[in-house]
Structure 1
Amino acid sequence: MRIGIQIPSFTYPGGPEQIAPIFARVARDADQAGLASLWVMDHFFQIRGVGAAEEPMLEGYSALSYAAAITERITLGTMVTGVVYRHPGILVKTVTTLDVLSGGRAWFGVGAAWNAEESAGLGVPFPPVAQRFEQLEETLLIAKRMWAGDESPFAGRQYQLDRPLNSPPSLSRPHPRILIGGGGEKKTLRLVARYADATNLFDAPELPHKLDVLREHCAREGRPYDDIEKTVLSILRADSTPAELEEVVGRLAEQGVDQVIFSVRQPYEPNAVPLLADLATKFG
């Protein structure tokens, strides 16, 4: 079992001038503690359930590039990029840049997007859900093409690229690991089975059912179920105890999960990394 950490809040003590040093400390500590992955949300406003929209939120890939420069081993990703935020050709270039500068440690976390509020606020088009899923599938096709070095034109319903050139290529071979976030049973998990290296689901009672649905999609796609890394997002609270966290990891391991990523919901929790490091040692 691998253990990862997600940083969803940058409302740190001391205000904006403390964001860089505290985020750097968390990233370095997670790296040196042997955690498997470090994730930030790809949002532009803070999301409900974590804080008010007005709270500080860093742009995801800039934050990960900063983390790449001060870490050595931990893998880096967004959980997850809404497909509407960036044109797919630019998004692939962005992820590739992170992969090159981190020495091959990038994830490509992507999903169909949901936060209409921030899209409206910043003037980003937010089409209906059916169109967003078309955009997601075409983005995955474009990403695979660009990472394979195929520069031939792409003509889809949503996107047209005359020459999807990607130079330099990614260091990860054959490409940065593709993680699709979301548990939609008809579309999202089908796309996982068809295109992804990993799925990300929530730690919820319906998790075993979601994994069964993914297994069925894999069978229909002719894809080995075990080829897909099963990651689950769980919550680390300020009052979480080692015993509680061990129960979470043990239960998820029994359900077939490969990596548990703990979202640290307190703006700054100095004990988070040591707690997760102990879990990584115990279950690694």
Structure 2
Amino acid sequence: MRLGLQIPWFTYPEGPAALGPTLRRIAREAEQAGVSSIFVMDHFFQISMMGPPEQDMLEGYTTLSHLAAVTERVRLGTLVTGVTYRHPGLLVKTVTTLDVLSGGRAWLGIGAAWNEEEHRGLGVTFPSTSERFERLEETLRIAKQMWAGDESAYEGGHYRLERPLNSPQALSKPHPPIMVGGSGEKKTLRLVAQYADACNLFSAGPDSIRHKLEVLRGHCADVGRDYDEITRTTLGHVNLSVDGSDGQSVQEATEQLAGLAELGIDEAIVNMPNVSQEGVFEQLAQVVAGVEPLVPAGR
């Protein structure tokens, strides 16, 4: 089982002037600890589940490019890009650039978008739910076409690309892995079955995860897709106690993640409230060592 890191907070005690050095240290220490991936959110305001909108928030792909320059092994992606934020042709070009410059380490994380507040705040059109899912499916088709090297014109209901040229092509083969984020049973998980290499589910308890995976299995059967081709990931958090005064022990965090492996999860992506604290990655390395030998159920 693999362990990934999501970084959703950029408000650190040292302030914005230290953001660059702090993030570089976090990325290097996370890689040294053995995490398999580093993800950032693709938001422009802080989201309500994490804090007030005024909290510091960095643009996702600029941040990933910065982290690519100071790491060598970890995969890099957004968890996840809202389909409304970027034209699909430009999004594919952006992810391709990240993949090439990082040596083939990019993911395309994508979803239907939901944060209406930042759309309205920055003047980005926020279509209806049904239209956002239509745009998401078209974007997935465009990504597949561009990464296949097919330059024929694309004519869809929302997008028209006369020549979807993508040069240079991505280094990842056959293309950067596509992760569709979200747990919607009728639309999101169907799109995973049809187009994606990975799903991402919230760690909302074993019963919920088990049910969502069964729904995904059903969609795979409906579209003729091998369920076992899909990498199953979750998003949750661990709160490791560096000094033993509060938070989780290494054993408690390891047991928490082992429960996900028992459900068939291949990669648990976690965020940590004290991610910038000195010494936290020494403990995370022990957690990585504890979960790495675990074989997800069904694998």
Same fold, TM exceeding 0.5?
yes
Shorter-chain TM-score category?
over 0.9
The one-letter code matched in structure 1 to 2:266 is D
The one-letter code matched in structure 1 to 2:183 is G
Normalising by the residue count of structure 1, what TM-score does the alignment of the two structures yield?
0.98
Equivalences for residues 23-172 of structure 1 within 5 A: 23-172=23-172
Partner secondary structure for residue 236 of structure 2: strand
Give the structure 2 partner of residue 278 of structure 1.
286
Give the structure 2 partner of residue 211 of structure 1.
213
User: Is the aligned partner of 1:21 residue 2:21?
Assistant: yes
Give the structure 2 partner of residue 220 of structure 1.
222
Change (3 A) 1:152 1:189: same
Distance 1:275 1:221 in 2: 43
Once the two structures are TM-superposed, the CA of residue 266 in structure 1 deviates from its matched residue by 4.0
- Could you tell me whether the CA contact under 8 Å between 1:37 and 1:76 is conserved in 2? yes
Give the structure 2 partner of residue 244 of structure 1.
252
Equivalences for residues 193-204 of structure 1 within 5 A: 193-204=193-204
Distance 2:220 2:252 in 1: 33
Distance 2:119 2:66 in 1: 25
Partner secondary structure for residue 69 of structure 2: helix
Distance 2:183 2:26 in 1: 29
Q: Mind listing any 5+ residue stretches in structure 2 that lack a counterpart?
A: 241-246, 293-299
Distance 1:146 1:272 in 2: 41
Give the structure 2 partner of residue 262 of structure 1.
270
Once the two structures are TM-superposed, the CA of residue 250 in structure 1 deviates from its matched residue by 1.0
- Could you tell me whether the CA contact under 8 Å between 1:11 and 1:268 is conserved in 2? no
Partner secondary structure for residue 151 of structure 1: coil
- Could you tell me whether the CA contact under 8 Å between 1:11 and 1:267 is conserved in 2? no
- Could you tell me whether the CA contact under 8 Å between 1:3 and 1:259 is conserved in 2? yes
- Could you tell me whether the CA contact under 8 Å between 1:12 and 1:267 is conserved in 2? no
- Could you tell me whether the CA contact under 8 Å between 1:9 and 1:266 is conserved in 2? no
Distance 1:253 1:267 in 2: 23
Give the structure 2 partner of residue 12 of structure 1.
12
1:232 aligned to which of 234, 242, 246: 234
The number of residues matched between the two structures is 284
- Could you tell me whether the CA contact under 8 Å between 1:264 and 1:272 is conserved in 2? no
- Could you tell me whether the CA contact under 8 Å between 1:8 and 1:265 is conserved in 2? no
Distance 1:5 1:93 in 2: 24
Distance 1:196 1:29 in 2: 30
Q: Mind listing any 5+ residue stretches in structure 1 that lack a counterpart?
A: none
User: Residue by residue, what CA displacement relative to the aligned partner does 1:52-78 show, whole Å, maximum 9, x if unpaired?
Assistant: 100110000000000000100000010
Distance 1:273 1:226 in 2: 32
The one-letter code matched in structure 2 to 1:210 is K
The higher-RCO structure (CA 8 Å, 6+ apart) is 1
The one-letter code matched in structure 2 to 1:171 is L
User: Residue by residue, what CA displacement relative to the aligned partner does 1:184-207 show, whole Å, maximum 9, x if unpaired?
Assistant: 000000000000000000111311
Give the structure 1 partner of residue 297 of structure 2.
none
Once the two structures are TM-superposed, the CA of residue 82 in structure 1 deviates from its matched residue by 0.3
Once the two structures are TM-superposed, the CA of residue 265 in structure 1 deviates from its matched residue by 3.1
Once the two structures are TM-superposed, the CA of residue 14 in structure 1 deviates from its matched residue by 1.4
Distance 1:43 1:158 in 2: 23
Distance 1:271 1:110 in 2: 32
- Could you tell me whether the CA contact under 8 Å between 1:11 and 1:56 is conserved in 2? yes
RMSD: 1.1
Deviating beyond 2 angstroms after TM superposition, the runs of 4 or more aligned structure 1 residues are: 265-276
User: Residue by residue, what CA displacement relative to the aligned partner does 1:107-126 show, whole Å, maximum 9, x if unpaired?
Assistant: 00000000000000000000
- Could you tell me whether the CA contact under 8 Å between 1:236 and 1:262 is conserved in 2? yes
Once the two structures are TM-superposed, the CA of residue 247 in structure 1 deviates from its matched residue by 1.6
- Could you tell me whether the CA contact under 8 Å between 2:26 and 2:275 is conserved in 1? no
- Could you tell me whether the CA contact under 8 Å between 1:46 and 1:55 is conserved in 2? yes
The one-letter code matched in structure 1 to 2:68 is A
The one-letter code matched in structure 2 to 1:256 is G
The one-letter code matched in structure 2 to 1:23 is L
